Structure 1
């Protein structure tokens, strides 16, 4: 009888340990590429995250620009479902439509319902608390126990934040104002507070740095660290993409020696800002360890999209369907996650919300388009039962622009720059197929497409030749049909085999 009682006690204890919800830390950078080797300048990130966790070789975003991509991360939805189409309020970015449709259904709100104490630190959405949005710093989005949100877009100095609804203004003193470090200090304080006051409640942290977004302003100690380096001279660098859509073929003049130096300088500064980010990661991990949380915490490192630096003469931007802009770093470490491991399975920004909920033991809402990565992280996902392709959407700003063939001026976006694309990654089909449109209507109507691009990436890694004219019409028809289904999908219908 005594043995039976002992077994019952042990079983109860084991069940309680199994049911314990882990802490989750999500660190997201702004505009960090992976294809142009930005991770290579962060050696401490390698030792702290990649060697201690799993690196996703095929991590992507579903929209290559800030506000729509961040909206997808926060909601787990494709752009056509959360309807934040661009960075402007008029296109949904932190507009009233965002608040009415989405703010009650974001990571913060769901993790709070799952029993978590939540903290947000850094950049939210581009127009947060700016006058056009219709709200000010007093608006704290629902679901956040602690709110430290940047007003507007990424900056390193001379900015304001909403500190739990109260305006806090910062200047240009490095020790007090450098935004990456300020975010770091706020995040560390949140962990320390969790240790001292909320040890029985799990916590979720969303840590959003400005780096390496323009203006890429390095911390003083890192200024000129890469003074002798240049931007990667890839096969697509300073390449005339005359067979591509009009924004590149007609709106992007060839770079000069002067503009190439501008690109090199931007690249150096971007890398230098990322050194402060790895300091942030290091100190967050050290604080987790000192507080006794490290063994019960998942840490995710990600970016809102990639970036290009001189590819197809585009001096420095995103907004294109090519891998430089949609492929991002995603590294995860935590209990049960393999160390110094890589996975080929596709991970998307829309997968993060369902992953966090799954790790928390909470139900995933039916209207979420993404899929939980938990089984991938735990090596329990069969590759042949996972996605092999996904949708990329981009909706142009809808504003007119004149094409000025001035080497100092290149067109990264303006009217008639909307596309949808299928990015496929499977044996024998590592491809990108994109349809472009003459207007910026949302949602798109595939019948109005007036330009297409296709790349066999196994043969053309840097997507230099648009080979759509060589594509078998039957295969193109299949891709169009696949696109048609994707742009109408919602919830589980987006989990297409």
Structure 2
């Protein structure tokens, strides 16, 4: 019996193409096809991972009415995460955080093009061959990707600067990335192939499903990434090629089959929508009230976004159909998310992102996978894209070759009290920005806005036995914002507005304009920002352990103990010397030092 068991084990290893640890080489054979053979449903192998990542989709469009297939097939059969955030409200830096499992201040890809970001800078930084898909391959995974990968990957450099980490790939490249009817793809790092009069989201689905077929045909576990451009703004590739005029982005486009949908849809007229009085700080507080024509255009823009998401929703259904038909669904994690959010009309804004408001930084996250409960919403934890990348690595048993900044997302697998205690600590998220603000649409006079550098801390916890959600922003202009999102979900009442008017920062001499409890909260949020703005590795995951090495303080709830009042008040306060493009650490003082920790 023992001999028979050993033989069966050896046969299983040979069939899997592994090395005894579940690892295959995961490399392409040069023709874009997998080296393995099989049907994708071998018992006992590592779980598969399917990622669907949209472009510029805010959490407000993550609803059953807008995306019924997504909710029927994924959300109702998995976990919906209510507090999930982008590390940078701009696509390229956010996607680099996914690829590198790093906060933006650590990878320092902070824009969509040189000198501060884009595919060329990513290459110059030496990041190629050191990305999440590379590490998945090293752990025995076959990996595939289709759609938008990174800005400034162009028809001119896609061959000379090849993408690493995929058995096969179809990458949208500039200037065709955002042209809904003329997408251009670099196939397996080859020269651009342009698809005239073909709807971009549909061809991403077609190509991605073909990659999924290849993945299912192998005995190895797989990662397949689907990255449609919907609901990103439309950018005409011909105009981009001509180099004429300013950056111009207009209403997203959709195929004819969706013409009839959302004809009466309008943006919600919330407290923050086109208010009578200006709000915010920096350039936002200078915005004029929108006129009637502008508001009508914003509603039209919104309808375009919803229609462009319908082909994405159809793709979700097709992915699940294929996984079910192959018998692979029970061993596959399917993840739906977006790179950053998007705003329309709130705080008098034109279409766009790049700010620190909830609509810019809060994005969908839904996960369905083996052992996960069905139809629950995680309202307690707070995670970001860096944590999603870390979760992929942990699922695959993959190891990066540098220190990463993420934590595994709670998949609610019932892993026991120790895991639950660890998850309970993660109730914060950091969003950073160091380049110009961007406005979109036909009512924009100039696309770019200066003085748009800030750090934003988002904390979801308890204070005095009550749930609180704070959004705290430190700006390069010296201004600050603090919103209590429980009482002010639309961020129209900046608690720190009186201090901005008096120029009280960064000394926090606020006794005459702020109540004592607000000051106590403010000191703690600023201390957390002080740690996180230069955090690396575990200090990004457990910043309170940096402040309190004894481990006695793990959350804002713990930190609000009055015995720590003097300590937090005495800590130096986060500030910028002045506004300058790019991450300039010398301008963002002070930096955390270990001697500042609580003794």
Unmatched runs of 5 consecutive residues or more in structure 1:
439-449
Residues 243, 289 of structure 1: alpha-carbon distance in 2 compared, 3 angstrom cutoff = closer
Question: Cα offset for 1:166?
Answer: 2.1
Match of 2:346 in 1: 311
Question: Alpha-carbon deviation of 1:19?
Answer: 5.4
Change (3 A) 1:69 1:96: closer
Query: Which segment is superposed worse, 327-336 or 223-232?
Result: 223-232
What corresponds to 2:163 in structure 1? 141
Match of 1:390, SS state, is strand
Task: Give 5+ residue unaligned stretches, structure 2.
Answer: 13-20, 23-41, 235-251, 499-513, 543-553, 555-599
Instruction: Give the structure 2 partner of residue 25 of structure 1.
Output: 50
Q: Distance in 2 between matches of 1:272 and 1:35?
A: 15
Q: Matches of 1:347 and 1:303 in 2, distance apart?
A: 13
TM-score using structure 1 length: 0.87
Residue 64 in 1 paired to residue 103 in 2? no
Give the superposition deviation at 1:435. Answer: 0.6
- For the 8 Å contact 1:256–1:407, the answer to whether it is kept is no
1:474, CA displacement in angstroms? 4.0
Tell me how far 1:138 sits from its aligned partner. Answer: 4.7
**1:315·1:410 contact (CA, 8 Å) conserved in 2?**
no
Contact between 1:137 and 1:161, CA under 8 Å: does it hold in 2? no
Q: Which residue of 1 aligns with 2:302?
A: 267
SS at match of 2:307: helix
1:401-425 deviations in Å (ceiling 9; x for gaps): 9xxxx99336774221100011100
Matched, 1:204 2:223: yes
Shift of 1:18: 8.1
Contact 2:332-2:370 at 8 Å conserved across structures? yes
Matched, 1:487 2:533: yes
CA distance in 2, matches of 1:411, 1:422: 29
What is aligned with 1:183? 204
Contact 2:135 2:399 (C-alpha < 8 Å) held by counterparts: no
Contact 1:229–1:264 (Cα < 8 Å) also in 2: yes
**Aligned residue number for residue 166 of structure 1:** 190
Deviation at 1:11, TM superposition (A): 10
2:146 aligns to what SS in structure 1?
A: strand
Instruction: Using the TM superposition, name which of 33-42 and 177-186 deviates more.
Output: 33-42
CA distance in 2, matches of 1:240, 1:318: 22
> What is the rounded CA distance, in whole Å, between the counterparts of 2:123 and 2:428 in structure 1?
28
Aligned to 2:436: 397
2:490 counterpart residue number = 462
Please, which of 245, 270, 285 is the counterpart of residue 281 of structure 2?
245
Which of the numbers 194, 201, 204 marks the counterpart of 2:215?
194
Shift of 1:124: 0.8
- Aligned residue among 315, 318, 323 for 1:288: 323
The CA distance in 2 between the partners of 1:229 and 1:436, in whole Å, is 35
Matched, 1:126 2:126: no
State the distance in 1 between where 2:268 and 2:62 align.
8
String of CA shifts for 1:48-91, please: whole Å, max 9, x gaps.
Answer: 11111111111111211111111111111111011111122211
| Separation (CA, whole Å) in 1 of partners of 2:266 and 2:254 | 16
8 Å Cα contact 1:241/1:248 also seen in 2: no
Of 118, 142, 150, the match for 2:172: 150
Distance (Å, rounded) in 2 between the aligned partners of 1:142 and 1:334? 27
Answer whether contact 1:129 1:137 (CA < 8 A) is retained: no
2:514 is the counterpart of 1:475: no
- Whether the 8 Å contact between 2:123 and 2:161 is mirrored in structure 1 is no
Query: Normalising by structure 2, what TM-score?
Result: 0.73
Please give the alpha-carbon distance, in whole angstroms, between the structure 2 residues aligned to 1:155 and 1:64: 21
Instruction: Write out per-residue CA displacement over residues 200-249 of structure 1, whole angstroms, 9 at most, x where no aligned residue.
Output: 11111111010000011111100241111111212211125634212210
**Counterpart-to-counterpart distance in 2, 1:349 and 1:145:** 23
* Equivalent residue pairs, number: 469
Q: Give the drift of 1:333.
A: 0.8
Aligned counterparts of 2:276 and 2:405: Cα–Cα separation in 1: 37
CA distance in 2, matches of 1:261, 1:291: 46
Match of 1:453 among 460, 463, 481: 481
- Map 1:234-383 to 2 at 5 A: 234-240=270-276, 242-250=278-286, 252-344=287-379, 345-363=381-399, 367-373=403-409, 375-380=410-415, 381-382=419-420
State the SS of the aligned residue for 1:434. Answer: strand
**Secondary structure class of the residue paired with 2:60:** coil
Deviations 1:413-447 (A, max 9, x none): 42211000111001233101111004xxxxxxxxx
Higher RCO (C-alpha 8 Å, min separation 6): 1
Q: How far did residue 101 of structure 1 move?
A: 3.4
SS in 1 for 2:115: helix
Q: Provide Cα deviations, 1:343-392, integer angstroms capped at 9, x if missing partner.
A: 1222210012211111112335551111112x434243415643121211
Structure-2 separation of matches of 1:229 and 1:361: 45
- Whole-angstrom CA distance in 1 between matches of 2:365 and 2:104: 20
Instruction: Give the number of the structure whose alpha-carbon radius of gyration is greater.
Output: 2
How far 1:109 sits from its partner (Å)? 0.9
Q: In structure 2, what is the equivalent of residue 426 of structure 1?
A: 461
Q: Is the 8 A contact 1:237 1:311 kept in 2?
A: yes
RMSD: 2.8
Aligned-pair distance for 1:9? 9.4
Aligned position for 2:475 = 436
1:228 counterpart (257, 264, 271): 264
Does the CA-based 8 Å contact 1:396-1:413 persist in structure 2? no
Question: Retained in 1: the 8 A contact 2:78–2:367?
Answer: yes
Aligned to 1:50, which of 71, 75, 78?
Answer: 75
Tell me: CA distance 1:104–1:5, structure 2 relative to 1, closer, same or farther (3 Å).
Answer: closer
The 3-state SS of whatever aligns with 1:51 is: helix
Aligned counterpart for 1:387 among listed residues 414, 426, 433: 426
2:125 alignment partner, SS class: helix
Contact 1:60 1:326 in 2 (8 A): yes
Aligned match of 2:241? none
